[in-house]
Amino acid sequence: MDFRKAFLSFVFILLLSKVGIAQEVIYSTYDKFDLRTDEYGIVGMSGGNLYTYTYSPGNAVLSAYDDSMTKTATVLLDFFPDKIYQVRFIAYPDKIIVLYQALEGNKVVQYAASLDSKGRLKGRPIELGNTKTGIFGATKVYFSSEVSENKKNIIIYSVNDRGSSIDFDARWLDDNLTVVKRSKATFRAENSLEHGDVNLANDGTVYMSAYTTVGAQNYADQFWVLSVAPGGTRFDAKELVLEDKYAANGYLKIDNINNQVYFGGFYSSKKNGSFEGLIYANMDIAGGKFVTTRFIPFDPELIRAAGARHRNHAFDNYEVKQLIVKKDGGFVLISEVHYVTTRSNYTPGYGYYSFYNTPYMTTMVREYHFDDIMALSYNKDGVREWSSFIPKVQYSQEDGGVFSSYALLNSGGSLAFLFNDFNVSHSRIQLATIDAGGATDIHSFSAEGNDYPDWLPRAGKQVSGRSLIVPCFHRKQICFAKVVF
């Protein structure tokens, strides 16, 4: 273990010191863990310690680590019911809030509890709602949660698409877990509706995207930003006019400082056509209207760059993952190739990480593909400043792509993408960096072999301005890697 820590730290320093992104990697010790039955999570920093979460049936545990990733305490969450359905932690400097759902008979029950900075329960957990599961048991998301950027507002909500209406039911909590407001609101349109991103502003206002779809690709032909204040009973709907275009992969982002809601996505002029460009819009919250809406076509140079790896339908299968708004009014849109295919379990096809699962127990096998990353920078006038394509291939089966996608580190002056680049027989950890001018640099080091764990960058969490925690597996064991950059 000591040799592995020293070797990987040395490799990271050697490869990455010249770009100033990563300086050190430190591993925790291993704990027993089975990916097929157990759960894990990164809680964050509280009381000067890093906390992680692991759950095996009937046994929920918080682990505390110091700066050297040495385990200093283990806290048994013995107030948890026997069957846990979903868990979310919110870390504060002096406490931890845990939102958890439990299976109790034929019901899913939503609870919340407050822990001190040592992970000990403060007071009694509170019940925030329950719903019946039906005859097939728990099969979907029953309660969801959002936290405001300042962590002073929390909502527990359910949202259901019901044909031409969307029903929303929410409870607002403060950071002391006091229920301050409750709301039920419904939005209706002439055609079948779906909801998208749900965001919570620092003032407690909820912003949610809603759209109607057409065609085989389910592109949006109408798009709204819905808002409801704490305790409100009606949605305030602001339509983003699409100008006879069709939107896809919309992404909402709240700017709490300037009171703006931003939207980024792709568009097509045909309801079943390929992506032809970007949509960028911002809505002024105080004015209650969209002040900027831009449809930016892909220029020939960008099409050629994208087609180098995907010649037919160059931008299809890209999904918007992040929208970074710059101080000058420009923006960086980050997207990733992602799609799912199916195959018969009698045909060949095996992913590098498939030994963690048993994909051939079913008649049809779902295959998860997460490939190239595309970052596009535009100025305030909609003129492209630079583009960057980060090549990667990630293929897995029946695991939801748990080892795939990436972790994004935004230092302000540069962007860094940490990911596994793997195929059927090989995997390597890559760190790609993009500077303010769009120059891209990619470094890699080998993490293969019996002594090195398999990283899960997508599940990584930035716990401070310069530290990222990434869960890692090694067969039936789990550890956590701390990346200091």
Token pair for residue 395? 């293929």
The continuous run of DSSP H or E covering 22 comes out as none
What pLDDT is stored for residue 1 in this prediction?
A: 42
Q: What is the mean pLDDT of residues 70-75?
A: 97
Looking at the predicted structure, is the pLDDT value of residue 450 above 80?
no
Q: Distance between CA atoms of 279 and 267, rounded to whole angstroms?
A: 6
Tokens found for residue 288: 């209650």
pTM of the model: 0.89
Q: Provide the pLDDT confidence category of residue 310 given band limits of 50, 70 and 90.
A: low
pLDDT at position 219, please? 94
Estimate to the nearest angstrom the gap between the alpha carbon of 80 and the chain centroid: 25
E strands, 47-192, are: 49-56, 59-65, 71-76, 84-91, 95-104, 107-116, 121-132, 144-147, 153-162, 165-174, 179-188
Dump pLDDT digits (tens) for 23-40.
588 899 999 999 888 999
For 225-260, write each residue's pLDDT tens digit. 999 999 999 999 999 999 999 999 889 999 998 899
pLDDT for 249 equals 87
Q: What value does the mean pLDDT take over residues 328-346?
A: 87
pLDDT, residue 406, reads 96
Q: What is the share, in percent, of the chain residues with pLDDT greater than 70? A: 89
Cβ neighbours of 258 (radius 10 Å): 12
The helices-and-strands tally (H runs, E runs) of the chain is: 2, 35
Give dist(CA 481, CA 469) in Å, integer: 6
- Tell me what pLDDT residue 316 has: 86
Contact 166/193 with Cβ under 8 angstroms?
A: yes
CB 374 within 8 A of CB 391: no
CB 385 within 8 A of CB 403: no
The answer to whether 263 and 249 are in contact (CB under 8 A) is no
Query: So what's the pLDDT on residue 446?
Result: 52
- The pLDDT assigned to 18 comes to 43
Question: What's the CA gap between 353 and 138, in Å, rounded?
Answer: 27
Q: Which residues contact 105 (CB under 8 A, 6 or more apart)?
A: none
Least trusted range by pLDDT, from 29-43, 62-76, 355-369, 402-416: 355-369
**H or E segment to which residue 15 belongs:** helix 2-16
Residue 210 in contact with residue 222, Cβ under 8 Å?
no
Q: Residue 358's pLDDT is what? A: 63
Give DSSP secondary structure letters for 209-232. Answer: EEEEEETTTTEEEEEEEEEE-TT-
Which one-letter DSSP state was computed for residue 195?
E
Please, what is the average pLDDT of the chain? 88
What confidence category does residue 9 fall into, taking pLDDT thresholds of 50, 70 and 90? very low
Distance CA 225, CA 211 (A): 9
